């Protein structure tokens, strides 16, 4: 599934308009612990989290994640956005809490792989 399709289906707000949104999303992973994501998320997954600080970009980049979706309308820190654009990591946000957002992603057919 393309990231853009997920953005459209769930009306996600794109925080990084210039990042490439035409990428394939192979799965999804939800966690707020960075080492959990490092250890257990699969590459090509979209990552659902409440963390907004700079270090989430390093995790997404090192793990080859397809993008980051922030829950509860959380707004990424300014340096996070800057780094995201440098590393071409799309950041989206949703007003939904994690449980609701993950349920919708699951309904779209995404799995943890």
Partner 1 sequence: MGSTEGVFFLTGKDFKNAGAASSSLKGILEGMGIPAAIIRRVAIASFEAEMNTIIYAVAGMINYCITSEMIRIRIQDMGPGIENIELAMKEGYSTAPDYIREMGFGSGMGLPNIKRNADTLTVNSVIGEGTTVEFIISLSLGE
**Near partner 1 in 2-31, by CB under 8 A:** none
CB atoms within 10 A of CB 85: 17
Contact yes or no for 12/93 (Cβ under 8 A): yes
The nearer residue to partner 1, 87 or 100, going by C-beta atoms, is 87
Alpha helices of the chain — where are they, by DSSP H? Answer: 3-9, 34-40, 55-63, 78-87, 98-107
CB of 16 to partner 1, least distance (A): 18
The reply to whether 43 sits near partner 1 by the rule CB under 8 A is: yes
The nearer residue to partner 1, 8 or 43, going by C-beta atoms, is 43
The nearer residue to partner 1, 39 or 103, going by C-beta atoms, is 39
Q: Which of 11, 55, 72, 88 binds partner 1 (CB under 8 A)?
A: 55
Tokens representing 66? 């397809």
């Amino acid at each position: 599934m393309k990231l853009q399709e997920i953005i459209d289906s769930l009306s996600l707000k794109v925080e990084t308009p210039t990042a490439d949104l035409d990428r394939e999303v192979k799965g999804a992973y939800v966690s707020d612990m960075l080492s959990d994501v490092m250890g257990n998320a699969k590459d090509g997954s979209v990552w659902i989290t409440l963390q907004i600080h700079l270090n989430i970009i390093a995790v997404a980049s090192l793990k080859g994640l397809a993008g980051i979706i922030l829950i509860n309308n959380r707004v990424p820190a300014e340096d996070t956005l800057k780094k995201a654009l440098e590393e071409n990591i799309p950041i989206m946000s949703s007003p939904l809490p994690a449980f609701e957002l993950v349920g919708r992603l699951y309904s779209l057919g995404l799995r943890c792989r």
